[in-house]
Structure 1
Amino acid sequence: MQRRDLLKFLGSLPAARIGQCATAGLALGSTRLYAAPQTNARLLVVFMRGAYDASNLLVPIGSDFYYESRKTIAIPRPQGSGKSKADGKAVALPLDADWGLHPIMKDTLLPLYKEKQLAFVNFAGTDDLTRSHFDTQNTIELGQALKGQRDYGSGFLNRLVEVMGRNKAHPCAFSGQLPLIMRGKADVPNIALAAPKMAKPLKERQQKLIQRMYKDSTLGDMVREGFTVRNASADAIKKEMDEASGGAISAAGFKGEARRVATLMRDRFNVGFVDVGGWDTHVNQGGVEGALAKRLDILAQGLKGFAEGMGDQWKNTVVVVVSEFGRTFRENGNRGTDHGHGTTYWVMGGSVKGGQIAGEQTELTAKTLNQNRDYPVLNNYRDVLGGLFQRMYGLNAKQVQTVFPGAKAKDVGLV
């Protein structure tokens, strides 16, 4: 097949199919072969689908209310604070008198923060109060005002590509299907990332063997009933987490593909999107250790690998990590957290003014919580990202309004 015939064939395919055909060496849009980007600025948006618990990543070590609210899952205060009761356990890594990092981030996010290549925007999010994963994910990705009719064919990253100009913007969604955030007038290819297979903790055959051992004992009925309840509960939790993740790749999957994404972002694309699922931690969330800590660690390792893979282009790169909403400030009866409101965004890159917690802040007390249960939203994501894009790309007021209609661009000093 001649090269021009190959291009014609690929040009006839829908974007989702092109994404399945794309490789690290050949990344194709609807009708053109992508050359190297003409602008040095690189933007990658990472969406943590499922609403991660921000309070156990960026830990409010200065708040007694935090430790009163989380009897089993709180991250201990740093040693020497005068209030620490760590009892030999790992403790939060202090960033200032009020905030610390989860100790799992010692070798990943903490060095970036100290090198002023990582900032956090706390009390961030949307005014959407539905606490529905699906509704709020749509709200975030669309980037449109809450009031009025929504256009589900227009995501805010696609509109950013439009105002940047098609000759300068080379976008790509690193996902199995084209996400809402990248839908719109601009042609955007997508490349599916490989997802590792997850082994079940206890296989059906093992369960049957254990039940057989207790079949003729007084515990036989209890063992059988226990497995029945456990399986039903595990299936229900997995179903909810899968639905909340919206088909996104796992943190482990992203970690394995991060350097491939970096290669493509360095050489072919300058506006990227990837979603990572598995953050809906209603049960047994854990604190210093546990399910959340493990996922945060894997995601941070993936982002560290991405930074290293960008090479010299890291100095021109901005990575924005968002989630649809936060979790309840107080832990629930299952040693987990429920759907909340405000959350914490991560902004990292070689051109980021890091080493700070940016945006409007507030003291954490029962009175300052939203509806006496979760973080308030003081830094609306449309305003903050509008201000960020304005600085990154030199957008004028009209262009910002195209990307985020009705938003008030808010420069919180991220770049």
Structure 2
Amino acid sequence: MVSRRGFIKSGGLALLGVGLMGGIPGFLAEAVASEKSRQLYSKRKVMVCIFQRGAMDGLMAVTPFTDNYLKEARPTLFMSAAKGGNVDPLIDLDGHFGLHPSMAPFAQLYKQKQLAIVHGIGSPNNTRSHFDAQDYIESGTPFNKGTSSGWLNRAVGLLGHDSTPFQAVSLTSSLPRSFYGDNPALAVSNLQDFAIQMRGNPGGANTAAKSFEDLYQQTTSSLLKNTGKESFDAIKMLQKTDIKNYKPANNVIYPNTALGNSLKQIAQLIKMDVGLEVAFTESNGWDTHFNQGTDKGLFARNVADLSACIAAFWNDMELYQDDVTVMTMTEFGRTVKQNGTGGTDHGRASCNFILGNDVNGGMVHGNVKPLAIENLEDGRDLAVTTDFRAVFSEVADKHLKLKNDRILFPDWKGNQIGVMRG
């Protein structure tokens, strides 16, 4: 018997399936196609978080191109908004900041004031360790390594209403640090070939089932309560359907990449109305120590994928955009000065992107001072002028209607910055 504490309260469930590139399971497509005739759960607000692991160079993604100090510090990496050079020009946002040319899908969203950018964002902890910085961002407690829960798990706990197994879902192969905690969460490598294993419960750590139906057989209706039983019934119904034909809205074609496939599956879960409220996925490969490139190369490919995948997801969400907000995050930025191998090293502040209809968009928020050495952190890095918690709390509070930042970010007492409307 799986205990109520083990099933409902401990850690999260990890749904492990075939690789992300394996396509979308048929039962989801059929469920989406019939969504108008059958809604399993009422529509809810959804926050989608994307972690850019490896530390994105915010100064290349959104460049203060009028800053002569940056031009001097990056003789081969600096990019301009001026046309007619040897590389594609930056997309001029406001006469000072320019968007990387490979992020053109973001330009229209910015112009429509659906996309906001926060620059100079980062952690108050000055570690330049990927592992530690990611841990601090995901726990939400940048000076406490002993925090057992993640900030997104705490956000789920503050939603204040009955949950379904799909309330918090990560499209990753294992549960991210952000979702650790007492509130249930799922890690799904692919929504196909369901298999479940328990995480975080000593008494049930070895309990496994081949499908939701197998786990359902091990439980009781009193354990699952009404919401849980309805969720299992929904899953059992979906598993009996055939699938191969999910058609995104507006004939959208998602990039056939890990991020594209993850966001495509998140879109389907949203359309299915199965109670999804917090979604998480990842974009990897941002550690650009060498051969970073300018309009071509590693960085250009990464930002092209990020912006194209998010834009495809947003277009697919056309009828749901009022209910969805997307936010990116990264552990830290890169050095202002390029290194000797055509790259940049671990730095401090970066930038992030927030997309939604309730976003104060069409603006670059934050404070980026001229990149003279006296303004740099430790004489080398873009200074952190906006604590990541100020932005994360504002997005979660305003979009998900949360009301207790002392629980969400227990050590933070700062102010929000106005990146959300209302």
State the TM-score, normalized to the length of structure 1: 0.74
Pick the aligned partner of 2:268 from 263, 278, 284. 263
Alignment of 1:37-76 (within 5 A): 38=42, 40-76=44-80
> Counterpart of 2:150?
155
In 2, Cα distance between equivalents of 1:144 and 1:14: 18
Aligned-residue offset at 1:17: 4.2
1:294 matched to 2:301? The reply is: yes
* SS of aligned partner of 2:345: coil
Question: What is the SS of the residue equivalent to 2:257?
Answer: helix
Q: Are residues 407 and 15 of structure 1, via their aligned partners in 2, closer, same or farther at CA, if it must alter by over 3 Å? A: closer
Task: Indicate the residue corresponding to 1:102 in structure 2.
Answer: 100
Give the aligned residue type for 1:151.
T
Identity %: 28
Aligned position for 2:371:
364
Provide the C-alpha distance between the structure 2 equivalents of 1:374 and 1:14, rounded to a whole number of angstroms: 37
Q: Aligned to 1:122, what secondary structure does the other structure show? A: strand
* Aligned amino acid, residue 258 of structure 1: L
- Whether the aligned pair in 2 keeps the contact of 1:51 and 1:323 (CA below 8 Å) is yes
User: In the TM superposition, what whole-angstrom CA distance separates every residue of 1:228-247 from its partner, at most 9, and x where no partner exists?
Assistant: xxxxxxxxxxxxxxxxxxxx
Give the CA deviation at 1:413. Answer: 2.1
Structure 2: gaps of 5 or more residues: 19-23, 30-38, 192-254
Distance (whole Å) between structure 1 residues aligned to residue 40 and residue 121 of structure 2: 34
> Do the aligned residues in 2 keep the contact of 1:316 with 1:351 (CA within 8 Å)?
no
- What letter matches 1:67 in structure 2? K
Root-mean-square deviation (CA, aligned residues, Å) is 2.8
Identify the match of residue 131 of structure 1 among 120, 128, 133.
128
Distance in 1 (CA, whole Å) between partners of 2:338 and 2:100 is 17
Q: Quote the Cα distance in structure 2 between the aligned partners of 1:330 and 1:296.
A: 20
In 2 relative to 1, CA 51–387 (structure 1 residues): closer, same or farther, beyond 3 Å?
same
Q: What letter matches 2:109 in structure 1?
A: L
Give 1:368 shift: 1.0
Would you say how many aligned residue pairs link Structure 1 and Structure 2? 334
Deviation per residue, 1:269-289 (Å, 9 max, x gap): 121111111111111000111
Q: Is the 8 A contact 2:391 2:419 kept in 1?
A: no
CA radius of gyration, larger in: 1
* TM-superposed deviation, 1:77: 3.0
Report what 1:346 is aligned to: 353
Q: 1:19 to 1:72 in 2, by over 3 A?
A: same
For residues 26 and 73 of structure 2, the distance between their equivalents in structure 1, rounded to whole angstroms, comes to: 47
Q: CA deviation at 1:387?
A: 2.5
TM-score, length-scaled by structure 2:
0.73
CA 36–123 in structure 1, closer or farther in 2 if over 3 Å, else same: farther
Distance, in Å, in 2 between the alignment partners of 1:356 and 1:339 is 26
The 5-angstrom pairing of residues 190-229 of structure 1 reads 190-193=187-190
1:332 match: 339
Note the residue ranges of structure 1 that are not aligned, 5 or more in a row: 1-7, 28-34, 80-85, 195-249
1:243 maps to what in 2? none
| SS of aligned partner of 1:52 | coil
1:167 counterpart = 2:158: no
Change over 3 Å in CA distance of 1:404–1:348 after alignment to 2: same
Q: Which amino acid aligns with 2:96?
A: D
